[in-house]
Amino acid sequence: MSRDTGFVLRGGALHAEGVALGRIAQAVGTPTYVYSTGALRAAARRFREALAPIPRKSLAFAVKANPSLAVLSVLRGEGFGADIVSGGELTAALAAGMAAEDIVYSGVGKTPEELAQALRAGVGHVNLEGEREGDALAATAVRMGVEATAMLRINPDVDAGTHAKITTGTSDSKFGVAFADAIGIFDRLARRPGLTLHGVAVHIGSQIMDLKPLETAYRRIGELVAALRARGHVITHVDLGGGLGVDYHDGPDGDVAAYGEMVARVTHDWDVTLMFEPGRYIAAHAGVLLTRVLWVKPGEECPFVVIDAGMNDLARPALYDAWHEFAAVAPNGATMRAHVVGPVCESSDRFAKGRLIDRVREGDLAVLRDAGAYGASMASCYNSRALAAEVMVEGDRFAVIAPRIDAAAIRPQSMPDWLEARRLGHAA
């Protein structure tokens, strides 16, 4: 692996920093997510340094990318807060030691209970996705005797040029309020008791490599800020979201230095605190999914390499046709063309189709690369499979940060009394 990910070949075997992946497999089993502390820190610092020209800013890691308490704790140490989209993510961010005032609560479907939870915790900002949500937050704040600090999320009707399922800024998206309606909604919400509305937010999608859509969206937001100020509103914060992409083919990632330059240029006269919510850019390369080859099964076009990790462990290929490199932990230089598939009873449980890969045999260890973002966080127990374990590595030491959990433990079940009676042979 040539990229600075924390995963390197040493002595013919793949290591996470100073720890052989074979050692982790022996101790923990497979499938297992493995994260590099050094890679997380390096990516966090690259992002922060790229924004050095911006005088007032705050950084919040998108917890949906990876909600591991250990990952969040590492990023807290790098000066990141949290961008959350649920009450569960709020609980995780606080448990990882992130300060409530450094948390931004986004998400299009916050429940009344979650809004109250956010106010009790004292989160720094709530990004409102609609007028009714703002009404509900204001009413809840008045009832609780507190003031809610919020921003209004704007839908700028800009196509991010990325996969349709991770595009969030076009006119038919469920996120935010229409640009044309923003001023009227802002006017009405700003008058609500219990609500301090002090800015606007925008996020047009994920995995963005071309900066032009982002610049277009930001310029529209700049126009809106000027228009709101002209109407007497005090605008102190603008949340520019996240979305900067990474390359899953061992090529260059989104140009974070150019991104920082663009943001500084476009926003130089806004006089606000700029907020950023990176997720994938920070975590993707810092993790791999460690797996074992179960079978190499003959196929009509090429063999099927059946591994013990499935689409329930790493859903992105099934959801988005996403690419993750498949690599042997102990490559011998030989290659083969194969389909790489998992054990889940779905044809979509496929990680590679007719791809040239390292030659592997039954029992060999392998990894699916760049799985640190939207990997474990999207995992499920489909087919009643266990949730994969998660491990963090720092230098020559490692620790299990999430154990493997059987499906029955995740979702305990019971039978109604009448069915239990029939099972035991008693009359219902």
381 is catalytic: no
Is 56 among the domain residues? yes
- For residues 122 and 232, state if they share a domain: yes
Domain final position from 260, 280, 300: 280
d(CA 213, CA 160): 5
Domain final position from 213, 245, 280: 280
Q: Given this model, what pLDDT does residue 176 score?
A: 86
Domain harbouring 370, CATH code: 2.40.37.10
Residues 72, 96 contacting (CB under 8 angstroms): yes
- For residues 223 and 351, state if they share a domain: no
Q: Given this model, what pLDDT does residue 3 score?
A: 56
Task: Give the mean model confidence (pLDDT) for residues 186-207.
Answer: 94
Residues 371, 314 contacting (CB under 8 angstroms): yes
Is 317 among the domain residues? yes
Pairing of strands 326-328, 365-368: antiparallel
Is 416 among the domain residues? no
- For residues 114 and 138, state if they share a domain: yes
- 374 marked among binding-site residues: yes
- 277 marked among binding-site residues: yes
d(CA 237, CA 270): 9
Least confident of 39-43, 111-115, 231-235, 247-251: 247-251
300: CB partners within 8 A, 6+ apart: none
Of residues 105, 102, 106, 129, the one with CA closest to residue 118: 105
Helices (H), 178-210: 182-190
- For residues 249 and 335, state if they share a domain: no
Residues 133, 174 contacting (CB under 8 angstroms): no
Is 131 among the domain residues? yes
- For residues 127 and 225, state if they share a domain: yes
Q: Given this model, what pLDDT does residue 273 score?
A: 98
d(CA 39, CA 75): 11
Task: Give the mean model confidence (pLDDT) for residues 390-403.
Answer: 98
- For residues 298 and 256, state if they share a domain: no
User: How many domains is the chain built from?
Assistant: 2
Residue 282 or residue 163, greater confidence? 282
Ranges assigned E (strand) in 202-261? 237-239
- For residues 75 and 56, state if they share a domain: yes
Residue 88, token pair as written in the block: 């569960």
Is pLDDT of 168 > 70?
no
d(CA 400, CA 14): 19
d(CA 235, CA 107): 21
- 382 marked among binding-site residues: no
- 320 marked among binding-site residues: yes
Pairing of strands 335-341, 304-307: parallel
Domain final position from 280, 312, 332: 280
Least confident of 66-75, 207-216, 297-306: 207-216
Residues 240, 273 contacting (CB under 8 angstroms): no
- For residues 206 and 335, state if they share a domain: no
Is 2 among the domain residues? no
Is pLDDT of 376 > 70?
yes
Annotated catalytic residue: which of 2, 269, 300, 345?
345
- For residues 122 and 261, state if they share a domain: yes
Task: Give the mean model confidence (pLDDT) for residues 195-203.
Answer: 96
Is 191 among the domain residues? yes
Of residues 226, 170, 228, the one with CA closest to residue 203: 170
Is 417 among the domain residues? no
Q: Which domain holds residue 89?
A: 37-280
What pTM does this model have?
A: 0.93
pLDDT digits (tens, 9 = 90+) for 58-78: 999 999 999 999 999 999 999
- For residues 211 and 117, state if they share a domain: yes
- 278 marked among binding-site residues: yes
- For residues 243 and 300, state if they share a domain: no
Residue 368 β-bridge partners:
289, 326
Domain harbouring 126, CATH code: 3.20.20.10
pLDDT digits (tens, 9 = 90+) for 11-36: 999 999 999 999 999 999 999 999 99
Is 394 among the domain residues? yes
Helix (H, G, I), strand (E, B) or coil at 96: coil
pLDDT digits (tens, 9 = 90+) for 216-268: 999 999 999 999 999 999 999 999 999 899 999 989 999 999 999 999 999 99
d(CA 287, CA 86): 23
- For residues 233 and 267, state if they share a domain: yes
